[in-house]
Structure 1
């Protein structure tokens, strides 16, 4: 009888073990898996900081955009400052460019030999324009088709550029030939071109003038020289 009980208990244990094994295999063990959810929940909690990190990155990106906008503003401000500076420079340049040079378009020019001093000619320039003009340096003369330029009389250089208001006149004296006959290549010219210089030496001051010469022409030789523009006739004929 005792043996039968032992066998019955053993058989019952085997049956219980078999039932437990069957329950695990047929999915009834999902309760146990459900009990492990806290571990899954922990993973979910860990994901949240990760998402928060992504959000921080998004904010950081947004901050970067704001920085770029600020940089854009700085760039715009700098551009604007440069534009203002350029505008000032433009006004300054316009002021310099507004200076008018006396030339063949705003003056009338006369050229005629004088009796004293001998072998001299006087060039007279009158401002026929409506504004003030400057006469820098000295006239550049060319008789007929000559291939050389008469040299200036350096002693005649004025302290300041001659300036003509409308209606005013200025003068330049020309030594045509050496009184002692020491000059070379003497010839008689029938045409004279008077060129004007700009604000730098030997620069172009604008259209030339072609004043009429006496019918019998003007004699000159290699000693010809010209004074700087003068405010008075006497100063022009001193040299």
Structure 2
């Protein structure tokens, strides 16, 4: 949707844009306006349109991408499974990763496990399951237990921009709880200790909570930058704990 209104996207134009922008993934164009009360006929047509769209790209043999995105506006189980079956084993264009888009899906909802299961079951064992989105450590632990493999780092960066630092427990992911410190609160202005004494990152080793609180109260750019360093350090630590837990419980 551009400035002049809706624009029709054809296969040649999509390939041209992807080449010009150097992208390495293609988003499956599903009907994003699907609602829970949508008829099965309409959902099937949506999946069929997406399948035909992807096949028309593959036929041209000029867009060799290793990743595709599986998405359904409201997370309909039936549509997700059909889409997963469609993109799991494309002829002549094997995928190494599939992005399971969970936009609008409540991770803690009781129906989410079945939605994830229908998205993952048809995929080959060697396909990497990617889930992009702002997920907290608790949500990441839940998605890991459902079979997800890879996540981005948008959540820790967003928290840093809000003035919030976090730290996970040493028992993560078995204990997915985490603590936070909000440096926008005035109560930290007189705290001259390290934000997290046990953390050895650059920010915690060189700056106090009072100084970080001062940076946010004066809207200094250094404040979010220092918290990004800390939060990404914790994010890396979190996944090291995940890998260690997998090794321990796989023996």
Q: Bin the TM-score by the shorter chain.
A: under 0.3
* Greater strand share, structure number: 1
* Greater helix share, structure number: 2
Larger radius of gyration: 1
TM-score normalised by length of structure 1: 0.22
TM-score normalised by length of structure 2: 0.22
